């Protein structure tokens, strides 16, 4: 399954623009970037997502593209992306986004940029349903208010509330299914308010998954206050708690594996004795990531007695742990690593190591620091018998409700 997401940022939002000093809501600044960027960053944290299509108003296309390029260069989105022009109606913008998808894409999400508080967990629920064969899937929430159908000032009927659901984005689809339905929509002149309705009109079943109560839509001017409140202690609209993970690893020198540090080969360095490829820095970093999610240590996950890990690239192990971390909604904010060795001289390789760590973790350069030091010819490393590394990772972890204790009931 190769999935891309269309981010719809082509609306006019006239009421909101008036309240925001003439700025369309998708371009309102939040956390130092336009609102649409927040959705992009969250989607980029989903390991199963392969790329993004941004749909902008034609009048804002060049300016938005330039800002995207700057943001990607400075902050590193970590996914390929393209832009497409918006249409007169929402359904036209979605169609243009579909036309911009690469040929190999077979699954697509459609998301409104005005919902910046989506979470990776919500996206993964959609992808799970699509992987199970759904042609279309939408996130929904129960309706808590009584809903009335009215004409003018008169009540016509009251739907049964238990059957009503509020619908959110992103919505997920088989690409071919959605494309065919949109072509029928254009041919018949249907007017639709979301993409699930396009499938419904075409007679194609749509399934639901649990939505996210925090996935609010920025619609009215008073919603702007929500942005200010959430900048302080939330990520993706979820209450977060800062956590710190610490990792340490050591390898002795001897006939074994050519040295790598942070995934970067170090020519002329002593070989290291190891079961995997012996990348001491990535091992320490992997342990630090495990620390952020309370996941034990690297030896529990990848024991050195297991044949499948013989000479395996440490970057593969790190990626597996990092995917688990992202699945839990944890957001890494900073990484600090130190290599401790008398030999080799690590300083010339620090820029290369930093660049590769940014690539592996999809972090901006300012979020990664690489240091090197010696132990002044003292001890294990000072006697040139081996190499050490330590890593510290700071992150934001979703606040989980504690399991009820002492209820006096047994299952």
Residues placed in the known binding site: 249-251, 275-276, 283, 297-299, 373-376, 380
Cα distances (angstroms) measured from residue 261 to each of 267, 305, 362: 11, 23, 18
CA atoms within 13 A on the CB side of 396: 12
CA distance linking residue 125 with residue 112, whole number of Å: 17
* Three-class secondary structure of residue 195 per DSSP: helix
Nearest 10 degrees: Cα torsion 367, 373, 375, 377: 160
* Three-class secondary structure of residue 28 per DSSP: coil
CA distance linking residue 41 with residue 236, whole number of Å: 9
Using an 8 Å Cβ cutoff, are 2 and 108 in contact?
no
* Three-class secondary structure of residue 305 per DSSP: coil
Residues making up the annotated binding site for a divalent metal cation are 249, 251, 283
Burial of residue 40 (CB within 10 Å: 0-12, 13-18, 19+) is buried
CA distance linking residue 203 with residue 177, whole number of Å: 11
Q: Which two tokens stand for residue 265?
A: 């080969």
């Amino acid at each position: 399954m190769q999935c891309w997401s269309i981010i719809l940022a082509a609306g006019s939002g006239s009421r909101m623009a008036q309240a925001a000093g003439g700025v369309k809501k998708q371009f309102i600044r939040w956390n130092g970037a336009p609102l649409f960027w927040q959705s992009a960053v969250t989607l980029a944290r989903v390991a199963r997502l392969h790329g993004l299509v941004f749909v902008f108003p034609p009048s804002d296309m060049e300016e938005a593209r330039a800002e995207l390029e700057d943001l990607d260069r400075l902050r590193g989105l970590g996914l390929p992306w393209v832009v497409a022009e918006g249409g007169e109606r929402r359904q036209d913008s979605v169609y243009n986004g579909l036309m911009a998808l690469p040929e190999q894409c077979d699954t697509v999400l459609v998301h409104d940029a005005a919902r910046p508080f989506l979470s990776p967990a919500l996206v993964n629920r959609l992808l799970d349903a699509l992987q199970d064969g759904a042609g279309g899937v939408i996130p929904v929430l129960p309706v808590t208010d009584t809903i009335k159908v009215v004409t003018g000032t008169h009540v016509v009927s009251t739907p049964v509330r238990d059957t009503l659901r509020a619908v959110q984005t992103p919505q997920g689809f088989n690409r071919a299914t959605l494309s065919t339905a949109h072509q029928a929509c254009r041919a018949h002149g249907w007017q639709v308010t979301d993409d699930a309705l396009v499938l419904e009109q075409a007679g194609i079943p749509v399934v639901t998954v649990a939505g996210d109560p925090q996935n609010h839509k920025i619609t009215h001017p008073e919603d702007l206050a929500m942005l200010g409140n959430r900048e302080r202690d939330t990520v993706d609209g979820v209450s977060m708690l800062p956590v710190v993970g610490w990792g340490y690893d050591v390898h002795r020198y001897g006939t074994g594996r050519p040295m790598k540090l942070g995934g970067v080969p170090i020519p002329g360095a002593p070989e290291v004795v190891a079961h995997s490829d012996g990348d001491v820095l990535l091992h320490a970093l992997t342990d630090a990531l495990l620390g952020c999610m309370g996941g034990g240590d690297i030896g529990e996950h990848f024991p050195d007695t297991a044949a499948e890990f013989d000479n395996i690239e440490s970057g593969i192990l790190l990626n597996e742990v990092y995917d688990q971390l992202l699945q839990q909604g944890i957001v890494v904010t900073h990484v600090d690593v130190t290599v401790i060795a008398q030999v080799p001289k690590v300083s010339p390789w620090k820029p290369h190591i930093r660049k590769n760590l940014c690539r592996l973790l999809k972090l901006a350069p300012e979020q990664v620091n690489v240091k090197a030091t010696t132990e002044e010819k003292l001890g294990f490393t000072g006697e040139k018998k081996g190499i050490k590394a330590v890593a510290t990772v700071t992150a934001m972890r979703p606040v989980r409700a504690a399991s009820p204790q002492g209820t006096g009931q047994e299952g």
